[in-house]
A and B are shown apart, each in its own frame.
Chain A
């Protein structure tokens, strides 16, 4: 592919804006704390460490939720991140509840199992947010949100998300700047749903390529012809466009049948920060 405009990173500025965002949006709700699912990957590490910087380590709880097939390395990395920023962690094994469920549906494929695990983890995070008077901090980046590479009501669920407008490449740059352990930044991204799984292998393209494409397509509003002119391969452009379009449902509230004159989110319009 030919030369393309690079995605800006500016980690110092992002760090300043995102810590201010966490402080403001958490405290105005009347709470001081967040819980965050720690996977040992770079996204949850960045979210957690930004929260520690914004709220103090005593106000952030990292919850590790391994399944029996989760890699040992993931847990070690999660522990290393917690140690690096001084936050407490809690480990909640999800194996028993997953096994209990799939005993009834033993033929479930990897996709169903992976989604179920993501949603079990969500229920654990929300339970602990209630127990600890905290908000659930999101860890989905802009690349995966746009591609729909996440589980609806699972890892996509949160009260607030500091990194949802950052492409994966920007998350990596920010991770280096805020001191996420090098092993976490440098390893291949993985949902860790089965042994040896990596995001890039599963998606069939690299984050570097798809971020460069999405940056032009979404942020710079390049049309299809302009993207081809910028050197992207047609099949790649079309496939990624379709992924963005087909996952739009994951980025919206459920659709509501309109029957009244004032329907939620249609003509009943209020900010989430209503009165805050």
Chain B
């Protein structure tokens, strides 16, 4: 993107929001955005559902926000002069509820990602409460092409593959990842360590930056492991927040590191998109699965018009 910055200071607000209290969490957003600005950050990333809390259960419909709500208007205000990633329950005009992350810049909603993979197993119950997102798209920002993926989305390798093939150089990943599993001799729980391997693998395999914004705090005894990180294209964390406590993490992202990575290891360039498409179509054919129409005029795509971009968002 012409004029996009190649180096920029970024902040991750590793917060512990109050469950079901949007007003209190909006105050937390304001405080953290102020602190991020004071430290010179040009982009601040908040965790998944950090405007509402995570284990919402029957509160989903009561804390949900329309993109034209005053609260989202307040987020747009907050984004003047700073990029902002917010996590909230999005309500559509058709009264569907999505676990969404918004990317805002200069008072506009630039991109909305609706979580595609809703974990509904073990301690998770998202499929019971949320509608499932149906697209993965990168988008242009002041900081180059980015993609937003939420927590469990990253446990599906296809999502990051799609984002990388769609030219994202930075993956922003808001999470509400619970700590679980304690092994001997480790500084963090098993889940934290799994995530760290996963993020490093993605960053290195696709030569891109991964910004992981995880939560802190507890909800009904379930702790969130924090440990937010900014991982560079070598797979190394350039900054990592402490585990299990709130923090405002800041670091400099230098997109030239992605360039260097792609010079040395041009796997993305060599990736054979047509081969992948061909084989996936064959696999679907052989599996007997029914194709889902995701063309622009299909009902499911029409639903997705709301978040579409600046033109619409700036009507208010």
**A interface vs B, CB < 8 Å?**
8-10, 13-14, 16-17, 20-21, 24-25, 28, 160, 268-276
Contacts and interface: CB of A to CB of B under 8 A. Distances in A.
A274 B19 contact: yes
B58 A13 contact: no
Interface in B1-23: 16, 18-21
Given A20-B244, A271-B20, A273-B220, 16 more contacts: A8-B182, A10-B184, A10-B186, A13-B188, A14-B182, A17-B223, A21-B221, A24-B218, A25-B221, A268-B58, A271-B56, A272-B220, A273-B19, A275-B19, A275-B21, A276-B19
A24 B217 contact: yes
A271 B217 CA distance: 14
B21 A269 contact: no
A7 to B, nearest CB: 9
A9 B186 CA distance: 10
B57 A271 contact: yes
B219 interface: yes
A273 B219 contact: yes
A106 B217 CA distance: 50
Contact of A271 (B19, B187, B223, B245): B19
Contact of A13 (B16, B186, B220, B221): B186
Interface in B131-180: 179
B57 A25 contact: no
B243 to A, nearest CB: 8
Q: What's the dominant secondary structure at chain B's contact region? A: loop
B19 A16 contact: no
Contacts of B217: 24
A13 B57 contact: no
Contacts, number: 66
Contacts of A269: 57-58
B183 interface: yes
10 contacts: A8-B184, A13-B186, A17-B179, A20-B244, A270-B58, A271-B55, A271-B57, A273-B219, A274-B19, A276-B18
B185 interface: yes
Contacts of B301: none
Contacts of B21: 275
B244 A16 contact: yes
Given A20-B244, A275-B18, A270 B57 contact: yes
Nearest 8 interchain pairs by C-beta:
A269-B57, A24-B218, A8-B184, A271-B55, A271-B220, A269-B58, A8-B183, A273-B19
B58 to A, nearest CB: 5
B59 interface: yes
Contacts of B245: 20
B102 to A, nearest CB: 24
Given A24-B217, A25-B218, A272-B220, A17 B20 contact: no
Contacts of A24: 16, 217-218, 223
